[in-house]
Each structure stands twice: as structure tokens, then as C-alpha cells.
Structure 1
């Protein structure tokens, strides 16, 4: 079977692979970066991913402290740069570099590349007191990086409707992406965010899309959601992860995933060898909404929205 890859078109006309197969956060995140704790397993995983056909999407961020691994893998890869899609993020919550411009200049140097394909503000929690600039100031810096060609696309992460409205009020270039925690058990990270982004032509990206598999309840064998997903694995001869990732993309959302097992990275890159029917997508959505919100990140900030997140 020939290789096929799906893309989403952004509001500037550029395209983004519908799946990022190597997220370098979550499983690979480090509290501290030292010359001694370079993760050779992550280097190997990225190197292997870069041998796969199609455009390989790698998701990075300065707060993950995995630039050494990403940079080393890129330097050893023979894959053309235009077949690699690199997402990077500026840390607003935990200050790593002075501001978005310094942040991206630093990462470009450390990764030994001329540009990233997507640059995001990692969260909306910005203030003069903490950061030395406002959220609006940060966005204007993102626009400058875009105009200077240091990033092909710009966006945000973990932004609510209210946060995006602040940007949309002042922006010259509106965000192309909002990367949020999204899965069948968390279908709105914050109230109304999915509908808002889709109505404003801002593509959503889902991190932790496989949360229902990561924190499976003890009685999952009797749960209608898991029973239905299992029935689809039999019908399509695919894994549970592939079914849920395909559901994410069918919802019009980019899926960001990762794994320590290369076979699962391959499965993600080869996700589009099958499709779910509209009825199956709707059924996963409906059964997922019967579960309480399952939020792995930003609990302190967003747990207050748990009931609304599954409406």
C-alpha cells in the first residue's frame, strides 16, 4: 500500500501535517538540562522517525529541555529540511529566555537551523511583573519573527477564548494554531474553545490525545467507550491508539503524540491508511462525553472548568 499523509491548511495558506509523531515533552521532559543527561533514547527515536516517508512533524519547546536531543538527531539525519516540520514553543510560565525573540534565536542556534515551521507562546499566563512584558507585547514579537522568516507560522498554546480575544483585538497576523490538551475525555480544555477556534479559522492541535489509554479505569472492559473502540480495532485491524488518533484528526484537530516504542511512531506516521465513518466519529465523541473530564496538565488553572469541558 502506498504511503499517504493528511494535512490541515492554516489561515495563511500553509499546511501542517495532521499528526506530530514525536512530541519531545511529556514522556521526555527534563527538570534540568545538563551535558550528562542527554537522552540517547530520544535521539534514537527522532533519528528513526526521520527515516519515515513523508513530512515528519517534531514537537519541541524550550521548557522541555530537549534541544540537545533534537539538534543531534537533526544533524545526523539525511532527510531534507523541507520534509521536516518543527514546532517550537516559548515558555511564558517558567522563564527560560528573556522574551520570544531571544527564545527563538536561541533555539535556532542550538538546533542549527535557519527557521522553525511553527512557533507558539506556550501559555497565556503573561504579565509585566513576571515576564517584563504583556501578552500583547509577546504577540507583537511573534509577528516580527514571522515577518523576519524565522518561523513559517505562529500560534499559541493553552489559550482560552478570553486569551485569544486579547490577541485578536490587537493582532496584525492572527494565530494559525492553538495547541491545547484535547482527547475524548476532555473535549474542551476551556469553555467553548474548540468551537471558537474553528469559527475563527485557527487550527487546533491536541496534546495528550491518548489520555483515555494512559489512565484507563479499572472497569474499562465493561465501559461502552472502550468496548466500542475495541470493536473498531477489530474492524480496521488497527490499534486503540490509531483509532483515537484518527478520531482526533477527523474532528479537524492536529494530533501530537509520542512513544518510546518506534512501532507506535510508525503507526502514527502511517495513520491515514484507514478512515472512520462519520457515525463512528460521532459515537466516539458521544461515548467520550459520558466520562468525567480527564485533565493531565494545567490542573490548578483549569480544573474549575471540568464540568464545562465535557459539554
Structure 2
């Protein structure tokens, strides 16, 4: 079978793989980084992923505390650097390093890399009092990293329309990406964010795209959403996860996923062996919107938007 991979073109002309197959947060996240909690399972998972064909997209962040595992896997891989796409994120909510410039310099050293392919501000929750700089000043540092070549693309994560407007008002270089929690049961992390990013030519990335499969009600077999997904599973001979990941990519959004099972990682890298019709995409969208917002992260900050998050 011929390997096929899809990419999305960013507003600077660069391309990003349509799926990040190893997210090193969520299930791999650690409260603290110690020699004792070094995760060999994660190293093996990344090593295996780097044997797959095509450009392998790995999603990392300083707050995940998994640089040792990512660095070890990268050092042991024979895959050329230009066939590896590394996303990294600067932690704003929980201060790990002094500022974005210092943060990336430290991560590059720890990962033994000259550059990352994408560098994000992990959240918009920045203040002079807490961080020592404003959101606008943080973005200017991101632009410095972009111009230096240490970050080939730059962007944000968990940003609302209001947050992006602050950046757009001062930016010389527009964010290429906004990575948000997005799935069929949460089609706007914050009100209107997907359409706004589309209007600004800022590509969306979806983390936790498989949330509907993670938190499934006891009577889901009678739910029209799951019944329709099961129908597509039978039609295309694919897994539920592949159907929902393909739905995300058909929406023009990059999917960020992970798994402890290498077979699932392989399925994600080989996602483009089938295609959903526009009608099927629209039906998943419609049935998903009939569910209450299902939010796994940033509840304290964004639960207030739950009623509006399922309006598109």
C-alpha cells in the first residue's frame, strides 16, 4: 500500500503534517521531573513512531516534563531531522523558565536540537505581575525566535478571540497556529474561535480530539452520534478513533493525538488511506453539536463558555 500523508499550508507558506501522532502531554504528563520517574515506555513509543514512513509530528511542551524522554528517543533515531516535526510550548500559566527566549534555548539544549518546527505560547494567561512581561511582550519574544530560525513557525495555544486580537494588534508576524481543545463535543473551546482563526488564516490544532471516546456514557449504543460513527467504522473498515481524527482533518484542523498502543500510533500516521464525504463530515458535526460541551482541560477558566461552545 502506498503511504499517503496530508499537510496544511500555514500563513507563512510552510507546511505542517495534518496529524501529530505522539502528543507527550495528557497521559505522559508528570507533576515533576525526576530521575526516578523517567518513562521508558514513552521513549519506546517515540522511537517506534520515528520508524514510520513520512514526516513524524511529535508534540511536546516544557510543562509536560518529558524532555528527557523525547531527547533520548531523538538521539537514538536514524530518521533524518527534516522528516521529524517537533512542536514545543512555553509555559505561561505555570512558570518553568524565565521567558519564551530562555525557555526555547533551554529546551533546544535538552533535546539536542538546533531548532523546533513550531513553538507556541501554551496559554494566554500572562501578566506583568506574574510573569514579568505582558502577553504582547511575550509575542515579541516569539517573533525574535522566529527571525533567529530557532522556531520555524510560531503560534499560540488555548487563545480566545480576545487574546488573539491583543497579539494581532501588535504583531509583525501573525501566529501560524492556535492549538485548542477541540472535538465533536467541543467545537469551540471559546466562543467563535474557530471561525475567527479561519478568517485570520491562522490554522487550528485540536488536542483531545478523541474525547467522545474517552468519556462515553453507559447507553452510548443508542446515541445517534455513536451509531453514525459505528456505521462509518463498518463502511470504511477503520476504527472509531480513525473516523473522528479524519473528521478533524476534514474540518481543516490539525489533529494532535497519542496512545500507549503503538498500533494506534500507526493508525494515526496512516490516517489518509480513506476519506469521508462532505455529507458524512457534516453529519458528525451536526450530531456532535447535539451533545453538551465535553471539556477535559482549562475548566476553571473556560467552563463559563460551555453553553456557547457548541454553537458554530
Q: Same fold (TM over 0.5)?
A: yes
CA distance in 1, matches of 2:276, 2:235: 10
Q: TM-score, normalised by structure 2?
A: 1.00
Output one character per residue of 1:55-92: Cα deviation in whole Å (capped at 9) or x when no partner.
Answer: 00000000000000000000000000000000000000
CA distance in 1, matches of 2:102, 2:218: 47
**Aligned equivalent of 1:168:** 168
SS in 1 for 2:108: helix
Q: TM-score, normalised by structure 1?
A: 1.00
Q: Where does 1:38-49 land on structure 2 (aligned, <5 Å)?
A: 38-49=38-49
**Aligned equivalent of 1:92:** 92
SS in 2 for 1:16: strand
Q: Does 1:6 align with 2:2?
A: no
Output one character per residue of 1:1-27: Cα deviation in whole Å (capped at 9) or x when no partner.
Answer: 100000000000000000000000000
Q: Where does 1:10-49 land on structure 2 (aligned, <5 Å)?
A: 10-49=10-49
SS in 1 for 2:258: coil
**Aligned equivalent of 1:179:** 179
* CA displacement at 1:37 relative to structure 2: 1.1
CA distance in 1, matches of 2:302, 2:75: 39
Output one character per residue of 1:208-250: Cα deviation in whole Å (capped at 9) or x when no partner.
Answer: 0000000011110000000000000000000000000000000
Note the aligned Cα RMSD (angstroms): 0.3
Q: Where does 1:115-154 land on structure 2 (aligned, <5 Å)?
A: 115-154=115-154
SS in 1 for 2:297: coil
**Runs of 4 or more consecutive aligned structure 1 residues displaced over 2 Å after TM superposition:** none
**Aligned equivalent of 1:83:** 83
* CA displacement at 1:52 relative to structure 2: 0.1
* CA displacement at 1:205 relative to structure 2: 0.1
**Aligned equivalent of 1:69:** 69
Output one character per residue of 1:89-117: Cα deviation in whole Å (capped at 9) or x when no partner.
Answer: 00000000000000000000000000000
Q: Which runs of 5+ in 2 are unaligned?
A: none
Q: Where does 1:98-109 land on structure 2 (aligned, <5 Å)?
A: 98-109=98-109
SS in 1 for 2:36: helix
SS in 2 for 1:306: helix
* CA displacement at 1:47 relative to structure 2: 0.1
Q: Which runs of 5+ in 1 are unaligned?
A: none
* Aligned positions, number: 311
